[in-house]
């Protein structure tokens, strides 16, 4: 049975956010520390079985300035600090095409990009005529991915797919129509990199969605899918929760900020 290591590499942070920016419903039982939490931004590195797979590519300095986020380090540089050169990456999974997951597409010259059919259709189709749905995308990232299609560097998936022994992709949609999550076998059992299927632990625990939604029903069903795929809620890793950096052990290598998700959380 294959077992991989997964590290979350933090590359950016937001400021403290209003409760309405983190939760769709105003829940009177929520404590403000939880409700107004800032977001952290990560890319995820999977290693093992002779493979090095990057999940998402983050954003760059220009995007950070445009959206008033604090870029700590370009994700490509974060990889280098961790000891992995960007040109050594052969596979990049793009969970979805939002700006904070699909920038830097020029930084991985030897990679092929795994994406769901429906994400590409969504990001280039009629729904992008609506500002409310378009806002989390950056058109240049989408155009860049189209160029990769024409250069035969994109691998399309429709629903479920195995991209390396035991590593599977699963479309859940909801937040973005073609959002996919990644299930990775590790020594503590299957870990699911949820990306934006779960922004914060509290979104899933309180069944209170993050307010960027394409299809609410798919988002809610997606949480059940995640628990089924992981087999235990503590093996679902949310995409933007600063608590990840508090409860997982810090990586024992590299000079940057990374946390080992294949090890049991301590908090
Ligand atoms: Zn997103
Ligand atoms: Zn995101």
pLDDT digits (tens, 9 = 90+) for 94-143: 999 999 999 999 999 999 999 999 999 999 999 999 999 999 999 999 99
Which residues crowd ion ligand 2, with CB under 5 Å? 100, 196
**CA 200 to each of CA 39, 195, 208: distance values in angstroms, whole numbers, following the listed order:** 8, 10, 10
Q: Which ligand is nearest to the CA of 238?
A: 2
Distance in Å, CA 236 to ligand 2 centroid:
16
Residues of the chain with confidence (pLDDT) below 70: none
At 109 the three-state DSSP class reads: coil
Listed in sequence order, the residues at least 6 apart from 146 whose beta carbon sits closer than 8 Å to its beta carbon are: 124
Distance in Å, CA 137 to ligand 1 centroid:
8
Phi, psi of 215 (to 5 degrees): -135, 105
Q: Which ligand is nearest to the CA of 199?
A: 2
- CA–CA dist 184, 163 (Å, integer): 11
* pLDDT at residue 31, rounded to an integer: 82
Distance in Å, CA 1 to ligand 1 centroid:
32
Distance in Å, CA 111 to ligand 2 centroid:
21
**CA 265 to each of CA 19, 40, 115, 236, 255: distance values in angstroms, whole numbers, following the listed order:** 26, 18, 29, 11, 21
Listed in sequence order, the residues at least 6 apart from 230 whose beta carbon sits closer than 8 Å to its beta carbon are: 183, 189, 190, 191, 192, 236
Distance in Å, CA 117 to ligand 1 centroid:
17
Q: Which ligand is nearest to the CA of 56?
A: 2
- CA–CA dist 254, 249 (Å, integer): 14
Q: Which ligand is nearest to the CA of 212?
A: 1
Structure tokens at 100: 């904070």
- CA–CA dist 195, 239 (Å, integer): 4
**CA 191 to each of CA 188, 218, 235: distance values in angstroms, whole numbers, following the listed order:** 8, 21, 5
The three-point CA angle 250-252-108 to 5° equals: 90
- CA–CA dist 11, 100 (Å, integer): 10
At 75 the three-state DSSP class reads: helix
* pLDDT at residue 27, rounded to an integer: 80
* pLDDT at residue 178, rounded to an integer: 98
Distance in Å, CA 30 to ligand 1 centroid:
23
Distance in Å, CA 102 to ligand 1 centroid:
10
Distance in Å, CA 115 to ligand 1 centroid:
14
CB 4 within 8 Å of CB 185: yes
Q: Which ligand is nearest to the CA of 211?
A: 1
Distance in Å, CA 56 to ligand 2 centroid:
10
Distance in Å, CA 41 to ligand 2 centroid:
7
* pLDDT at residue 188, rounded to an integer: 97
* pLDDT at residue 33, rounded to an integer: 80
Distance in Å, CA 260 to ligand 2 centroid:
20
Burial of residue 66, with CB atoms counted within 10 A of its CB: 0-12 exposed, 13-18 middle, 19 or more buried:
exposed
Distance in Å, CA 150 to ligand 1 centroid:
25
Q: Which ligand is nearest to the CA of 133?
A: 1
């Amino acid at each position: 049975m294959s077992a991989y290591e997964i590290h979350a590499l933090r590359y950016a942070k937001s400021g403290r956010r209003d409760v309405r920016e983190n939760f769709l419903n105003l829940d009177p039982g929520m404590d403000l520390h939880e409700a107004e939490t800032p977001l952290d931004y990560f890319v995820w590195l999977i290693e093992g079985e002779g493979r090095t797979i990057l999940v998402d590519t983050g954003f760059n300095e220009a995007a950070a300035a445009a959206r008033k986020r604090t870029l700590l380090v370009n994700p490509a540089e974060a990889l280098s600090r961790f000891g992995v050169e960007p040109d050594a990456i052969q596979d990049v999974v793009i969970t979805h095409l939002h700006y904070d997951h699909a920038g830097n597409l020029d930084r991985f010259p030897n990679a092929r990009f795994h994406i769901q059919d429906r994400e590409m259709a969504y990001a280039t189709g009629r729904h992008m005529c609506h500002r409310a749905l378009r806002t989390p995308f950056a058109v240049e990232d989408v155009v860049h991915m189209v160029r990769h299609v024409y250069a035969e560097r994109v691998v399309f998936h429709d629903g479920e797919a195995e991209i390396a022994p035991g590593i599977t992709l699963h479309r859940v949609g909801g937040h973005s129509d073609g959002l996919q999550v990644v299930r990775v076998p590790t020594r503590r059992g299957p870990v699911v990199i949820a990306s934006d299927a779960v922004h914060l632990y509290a979104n899933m625990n309180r069944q209170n969605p993050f307010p960027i939604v394409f299809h609410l029903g798919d988002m809610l069903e997606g949480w059940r899918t995640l628990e089924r795929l992981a087999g235990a809620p503590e093996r679902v890793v949310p995409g933007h929760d600063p608590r990840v950096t508090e409860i997982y052990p810090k990586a024992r290598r590299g000079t940057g900020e990374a946390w080992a998700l294949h090890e049991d959380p301590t908090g």
